[in-house]
Chains A and B, each alone.
Chain A
């Protein structure tokens, strides 16, 4: 997809369909949509600084965990420069990565590709979701 803010809704709907198809419940689907939205917003604003660029998003499911990999070719993300928000003090901004980490099981940044950053998002099916999937 192109790194444009007007593509965020399309991306949310896409990941929502993927998550629902493998058995995530409504709350987990919403979690996926929020996480991908936050990830893409960061790429659009910070990796590409609003100038646009390509973003590749892929997903796979191993029967237990869904993984979404997001790759860009923009400015590399510097995790060492990230500090989680101080929840005792309301701040304007800085919640994107924090929210991804809270609603997913794993959020991993990889800056080893030749260009840009590879972000891997993982969430496991909950026990009740897995049971429902097994009996369907």
Chain B
């Protein structure tokens, strides 16, 4: 799993590419930590190119969202979840917990 960072003004987009599971989720955590360290507070995680995501990865996203909101006065929003991930989000009802947008532009614009 790769993380591509796209900084758009005050909003930082982390585009995940590949499969996010218990073995690869640490790369996401490290990428977020690096961006927060550099001052990023408005994050978007783009899931468009994620081929698989399990509950460990979702839990990590939830934890990162909580950290951004509670510890850094910021937020973490999601965009572009593919069908497999939409199903997992629906089953766990975490789709109600995250701010999820259909695509990157909408997620970035939501911060404006």
Q: Name A residues whose Cβ lies closer than 8 Å to a Cβ of B.
A: 4-6, 8-9, 12, 27, 30, 33-34, 37-38, 41, 44-45, 85, 87-88, 90-93, 95-96, 98-99, 102-103
Contacts and interface: CB of A to CB of B under 8 A. Distances in A.
Nearest to A97: B55
Given A87-B93, A92-B59, A34 B19 contact: no
B35 interface: no
The B contact surface, by secondary structure, is helix
Contacts of A9: 19, 21, 23
Q: Considering the complex of A and B, which 10 residue pairs feature the smallest CB-CB distances, nearest first?
A: A5-B23, A95-B55, A90-B97, A87-B93, A30-B84, A92-B59, A41-B22, A93-B59, A8-B21, A37-B54
A99 B59 CA distance: 13
A88 B58 CA distance: 16
Most buried by B among A9, A90, A93, A103: A90
A45 B59 CA distance: 15
A74 to B, nearest CB: 16
Contacts of A12: 19, 52
